[in-house]
Amino acid sequence: MKILHTADIHLGAKNVRLSLDRQAKIREEQNRLITNLFSDAYRNDYDVVLICGDLFHSKNISSKITNNFFRSVENFARPVLYVKGNHDEKFDFTNLPKNFIVLYGDFYEYNNVVFWGQQDAEIIAKKIDKNKINIMLLHGDIKNRNDRDFVDIEEYISLPFNYIALGHIHSYEKQIKNDISIVYPGSLFSNGFDETGRKGYVELTFDESGIKDKFIEYGTYSYMLKYCDITNLSSYNDILEKAKESLRDCSENDLVRLIINGYYSEDCEKYLTELQRALDNYFYFELIDKSKLKIDFEKIKNEELSFKAEFLLLVENSSEDDDSKNKICQLGIEALRGDELSI
């Protein structure tokens, strides 16, 4: 038996940083990926698809998106099991395909595998059959008790579950407790720079030795957040080559944010407009300059009638340790120059 475990698809989410035409392209690509996900699942003989919450980003989703999703589910023609997430609690889950099953605190059995929706652990304990394969579907944060969607996983790991399928955290995470694999598959595709990197789903397979799970990368684009430290670089060409090296694992389909940081000397020309143009080879590219001017303290000390020189002298004669003196000098000169502070 093979199961596909995904979550946090957030269909209908928008990135307002993108132009309207690029937002439309992203929506079309997501619709294509959803269609392909279910057709690939059918062709590759997955028996069940699990979606652990946040299928839709809000209740106000276009009919084109919802129709495409549920048509793909119907074409899969095998069980698609779903537990609601915090983003789609108000979505109207009515008039659904027969094979789309929303677990409201109950269970669904298929081929000797029992799939459980969230409910009181004491109730599950009275019903669960340890001679069958048992899988729990949950949506929530199992680490942060301050999250309003916190789920206390300790309630369930004493029960004879074989696998706990999670949603809510947008990156792949796995831990094992009491020999139970507890897995977040992460979001199926990215919706912003706060969830960067490659995305995908988890494949579960069953054999005589038990359940095996592995992460499968999926999709054609990702949000990529990259950094380029230009400290000690002396020219635009040096910066360009260092930036290209920072972007080496980004593809032309990705949405890329490159942050320039570090310290540059007064005689180093960054030519940021030209740098943006030279690097803009992606679906979306954004260059942010957070680099700071490297201050020549010795030069400032030799200035006559200078507030900056007087400030450095005061700091040097203070009782602070050398590391603190360096930080105070850097911030103080930045403030006197009217620069943005590097803190």
What are the pLDDT digits (tens) for 49-78? Answer: 999 999 988 777 888 999 999 999 999 999
Residue 206 has pLDDT above 80, yes or no: yes
Note the helical H segments in 44-81.
63-76
Mean pLDDT of 289-296: 81
Note the helical H segments in the chain: 20-43, 63-76, 121-127, 236-246, 272-279, 297-301, 307-316, 322-337
List pLDDT tens digits, range 1-50: 899 999 999 888 887 778 888 888 888 988 999 999 999 999 999 999 99
Q: With 70 as the cut, is the pLDDT of residue 343 above it?
A: no
* From 36-40, 139-143, 283-287, 330-334, the region with the lowest mean pLDDT: 330-334
Is 90 exceeded by the pLDDT of residue 257?
yes
Residue intervals of the chain classified under CATH 3.60.21.10 are: 2-217
Phi, psi at 289, each rounded to 5°: -100, 110
Rg of the chain on CA atoms, in Å: 27
Q: What are the beta bridge partners of residue 164?
A: 136, 182
User: What is the band of 296 on the pLDDT scale with cuts at 50, 70, 90?
Assistant: low
Tell me the C-alpha to C-alpha distance, in Å, between residue 170 and each of 101, 103, 136: 23, 21, 19
What are the two backbone dihedrals, phi and then psi, of residue 75, each rounded to the nearest 5 degrees? -70, -30
Beta strands 223-229 and 255-261: pairing type? parallel
Q: Per residue in 71-130, pLDDT tens? A: 999 999 999 999 988 877 667 778 899 999 999 888 999 998 999 998 999 999 999 999
Please choose, from the candidates 293, 337, 294, 300, the residue with its C-alpha nearest in 3D space to the C-alpha of residue 315.
300
225/190 Cα distance (integer angstroms): 12
pLDDT(201) > 90? yes
If we measure between CA atoms, which residue out of 212, 219, 145 comes closest to residue 183?
212
Q: Is the dihedral of CA 244, 248, 251, 255 positive or negative?
A: negative
pLDDT, tens digit (0-9, with 9 covering 90-100), for 211-239: 899 999 998 788 999 999 999 898 999 99
Name 80's Cβ contacts closer than 8 Å, sequence gap at least 6.
48, 49, 51, 73, 97, 99, 100, 101
Q: Quick one: tokens of 303?
A: 């200035």
Share of the chain above pLDDT 70, in %: 98
Give the list of residues 6+ apart from residue 222 with CB closer than 8 angstroms, or none: 189, 190, 196, 197, 198, 199, 254, 255
Q: Quote the CATH superfamily of domain 2-217.
A: Metallo-dependent phosphatases (3.60.21.10)
Helices 307-316 + 322-337 axis angle, to 10: 170
